[in-house]
Amino acid sequence: MKKYIFLLLTILLVFSGNAFAQPKSGAANLSEKEFMKAVRKADEFKDFKSSFLNGADAKPKALIDGNGSQYGWAVQYEIEYNAKNVFLNEEAIVNFSSLLSFSYEFDSGLKVRLVDYGRLLDDQAFYIKDLRSDEETKIDVSKDHTFKEFLAEVEMKKKEVLEKAAKNSLETDKSTAAGELCYYCTKYEWRGGYPCAAAAMESETSVSSQLATHGLDEDAVTANCYVPRYKVCVAGEWRTYCPIQ
């Protein structure tokens, strides 16, 4: 009898050990609530939180594969990144918003990427940086119809503000300028910002194909070919002291 009791206890212990060794049911397939909890605990979330823009879309979305099965979650926040100086000059007239993207794929864990639109005008490209490996990928938009129209619009707005500032400068009494005047922006406004239209297949294909080439999931790192908002100076004043450049 003792022999059978011992055997039964041994079997129970084996099954108990296996049960504790296995992950909790569904742990690999993280729930939306668990995903958002992991995002908010991430160091990158804490580092960039003060840069989040009002109205940033923080609603997570399920990542779905070609078979209709969910393989993860993604959420992104619109942020102000690498803001330019607040005084007016050729380089500081436009500041693009960027995106902080969190994605969790059930088979590979949490990834954090910065979609940096800050160099759009200079490079005709945006950059995706993996914040955990520092690997950066360039996405060229120089031949992309949607982005070309957007950047032309931004350049026009930039020219208008520069011309307005130059006119104000001529009207300013330079005898009180003590030799130098600097224009200070006192009011900025965010303008533009929209996803590429569904009909703009050229844009969809151009961006999506580059992302795929670099092994990046467009659902996780961009909002369907998102064209960023841009901040421009809409009011300012001339002052007799200039910031150190």
Q: What is the mean pLDDT of residues 230-236?
A: 83
| Residue 90 pLDDT | 62
Tell me which residue of 86, 95, 146 sits closest to 117, measured CA to CA.
95
Question: CA dist 160 to 64, 80, 140, 153, Å?
Answer: 44, 23, 27, 11
Q: What is the pLDDT of residues 118-152, one digit of tens each?
A: 888 889 999 999 999 999 999 998 888 888 888 89
Tell me: pLDDT of 19 over 60: no
| Residue 104 pLDDT | 95
Tell me: pLDDT of 181 over 80: no
Tell me: pLDDT of 26 over 60: no
Q: How many CB atoms lie within 10 A of CB 75?
A: 20
Q: What is the pLDDT of residues 57-100, one digit of tens each?
A: 578 999 998 899 999 999 999 999 887 666 666 666 788 999 99
CA 52 – CA 117 distance, rounded (Å): 15
- The top-scoring range by mean pLDDT among 10-19, 156-165, 179-188 is 156-165
Q: Report the run of H or E that residue 231 belongs to, with start and end.
A: strand 226-239
Number of domain units in the chain: 1
Q: What is the mean pLDDT of residues 2-21?
A: 38
Q: Using pLDDT thresholds of 50, 70 and 90, give the confidence band for residue 173.
A: low
Report if residue 54 sits inside a domain: yes
Report if residue 144 sits inside a domain: yes
Distance from chain centroid for Cα 188 = 20
In percent, the amount of the chain with pLDDT more than 70 equals 72
| Residue 113 pLDDT | 96
Tell me which residue of 137, 99, 135 sits closest to 116, measured CA to CA.
99
Report if residue 11 sits inside a domain: no
Report if residue 163 sits inside a domain: yes
Tell me: pLDDT of 225 over 80: no
Report if residue 245 sits inside a domain: no
Report if residue 13 sits inside a domain: no
- Bridging pattern class, strands 125-130 and 94-105: unpaired
Alpha helices in 42-144 (DSSP H): 43-48, 120-123
Contacts 24+ apart (CB under 8 A), 93-96: 93/158, 93/161, 93/162, 93/232, 93/233, 94/121, 94/154, 94/157, 94/158, 94/230, 94/231, 94/232, 95/188, 95/230, 95/231, 96/120, 96/228, 96/229, 96/230, 96/231
Tell me: pLDDT of 245 over 70: no
Domain of 230 in residue numbering reads as 25-239
Q: What is the pLDDT of residues 36-50, one digit of tens each?
A: 999 999 999 999 999
CA 37 – CA 31 distance, rounded (Å): 10
| Residue 172 pLDDT | 58
Q: What is the mean pLDDT of residues 6-21?
A: 37
Report if residue 10 sits inside a domain: no
Tell me: pLDDT of 111 over 90: yes
Tell me: pLDDT of 18 over 90: no
| Residue 9 pLDDT | 37
| Residue 85 pLDDT | 61
| Residue 17 pLDDT | 40
Mean pLDDT in the chain?
A: 77
| Residue 103 pLDDT | 94
Handedness of CA 40, 82, 141, 148 (dihedral sign): positive
